[in-house]
Chains A and B, each alone.
Chain A
């Protein structure tokens, strides 16, 4: 990190912890919850958002002085939609099965509040290089939560990670299953995503008391 000044380092590191887009800024919740039943889908989603957010931030930051402020939302939507179409087409070409699993949620990156939120809060007021760092940082913070949730849901729900049976085989009773362990199928259902994120928030705020909200 010697390449970056202290201020720039803050841009990348803050969203990973004390200013996390999901648990603190409450941005980009929808996709974080819907696709996290499998770790693989979570990782692909995190990478897609990383691409869209960092490139989009740079583009908006370059155009910030020529966009009339009244129509900026439409301009932003067009930039994001163009980037998301690229992601969607690439996914369809190289990972068709996965793009079926993600279904409409790739398209919903367009309306992922994290993207518009960062455009409004950062890219419209800062230069392209710092906006790029901000994009990387926030997408990484978002991805970190996604991967934690995906990891715990896939591990506890189906006993696999990225499709590998890490806890042994539930049918042949090897590994943990030999001593009576059972998968918790409930973890794969959508409500558990909410509860897992709730628990992450709980843990984070117990560790850092300054983040606690008034009622």
Chain B
């Protein structure tokens, strides 16, 4: 159950593109055609599903406070978590290199169509973001980490597929000249993100607010709450005045 919940939560509610804006650069740059979008999306799913569990192991056995206890009791108080950025990115860069070699060997057509974007997966924020969110959301087991990576990748894939399909169609519409290309893509993505927000109540049946562990979302939700509180307070005081 835990797995199913995390899976759907990562795809829809905490969607990489629409909720946290990760991997925006390649999302905007490679979404002109559905076929290339599918290629890049598949590469992202694969790299995320591999790097998140690997970085989970690194985090668990090397980086977090007390993680080095398995070396011996005298290492128990080491805290190497400040090194996590550099180790995570090194893992990711290595994995991307590996994927590049494999794709070049087995799918040369895909390799040429992806062109420069395959090495750029290394600097795709979705990949590093996946690992960093895995760390900050405190994912418990290796299986869950794999699940999280896979589902986040699928969420990203869905997003880029949807926007690529819309952009192929929008070529036939009469968009105001200054909005053409980048501008309209931003606005469509914004509207899609609003649509995806409606998945927010999915896990709780829509009765309570979902508890997102994402810090930024938390802050935004909190500030939203205070705004609502202020509004309701204002309404109450107005009613009292009317009476």
The residues of A with any CB-CB pair to B shorter than 8 Å are 23, 26-31, 33-35, 37, 73-74, 77-78, 81-82, 84-85, 88-89, 100-105, 107-108, 110-113, 116, 157-158, 170-171, 173, 177, 182-183, 185, 188-195, 197-198, 201-206, 209, 211-215
Contact = CB atoms under 8 A, between A and B. Distances in A.
B122 A73 contact: yes
A190 B123 contact: no
Given A30-B21, A113-B123, A201 B85 contact: no
Interface stretch (B47-55, B126-134, B145-153, B154-162): B126-134
Given A104-B133, A189-B197, A23 B190 contact: no
Contacts of B226: 158
B186 A194 contact: yes
Interface stretch (B33-41, B102-110, B177-185, B203-211): B177-185
B183 A198 contact: yes
B60 interface: no
B220 A189 contact: yes
Give the secondary structure class of B's interface.
Answer: helix
The 8 closest A-B pairs by CB, nearest first: A213-B181, A194-B190, A198-B186, A205-B178, A191-B193, A103-B215, A29-B24, A104-B132
Nearest to A201: B183
B24 A107 contact: no
A182 B122 contact: no
B132 A108 contact: yes
Interface of B: 18-25, 28-29, 82-86, 89-90, 93, 119-120, 122-125, 127-129, 132-133, 136, 170-171, 175-184, 186-187, 189-191, 193-194, 197, 214-217, 219-220, 223-224, 226-228, 230-231, 233-234, 237
Given A34-B21, A201-B182, 13 more contacts: A29-B24, A73-B122, A78-B89, A82-B86, A107-B84, A195-B187, A198-B183, A201-B178, A203-B178, A205-B177, A209-B178, A211-B178, A215-B181
Given A81-B85, A158-B227, A30 B22 contact: yes
A34 B20 contact: yes
A35 B76 CA distance: 36
Contacts of A195: 186-187, 190-191
Contacts of A33: 21, 24
Contact of B216 (A35, A82, A89, A183): A35
In the complex, which of the residues A112, A188, A211, A215 has the most CB atoms of chain B within 10 Å of its own CB atom? A215
A85 B178 contact: no
Contact of A188 (B90, B227, B230): B227
A112 B29 CA distance: 14
Contacts of B182: 23, 26, 201, 213
B123 A111 contact: yes
Contacts of B216: 34-35, 37, 101-103, 105
B180 A212 contact: yes
B128 A111 contact: yes
A103 B85 contact: no
Contacts of A100: 215
Given A108-B129, A193-B21, A185 B224 contact: yes
A171 B230 contact: yes
28 contacts: A34-B21, A34-B216, A73-B119, A77-B89, A84-B85, A85-B83, A88-B85, A101-B216, A104-B215, A108-B132, A111-B127, A111-B129, A116-B120, A170-B234, A171-B237, A188-B220, A190-B18, A190-B220, A195-B186, A195-B190, A198-B184, A198-B190, A202-B179, A209-B178, A212-B177, A214-B181, A215-B170, A215-B171
Which of B178, B215, B228 has the most chain A CB atoms closer than 10 A to its own CB? B178
Nearest to B226: A158
Given A100-B215, A104-B136, A108-B125, A188 B25 contact: no
A116 B227 contact: no
B227 A26 contact: no
A78 B88 CA distance: 11
A49 to B, nearest CB: 13
B93 A73 contact: yes
A19 B175 CA distance: 23
B178 A194 contact: no
B224 A30 contact: no
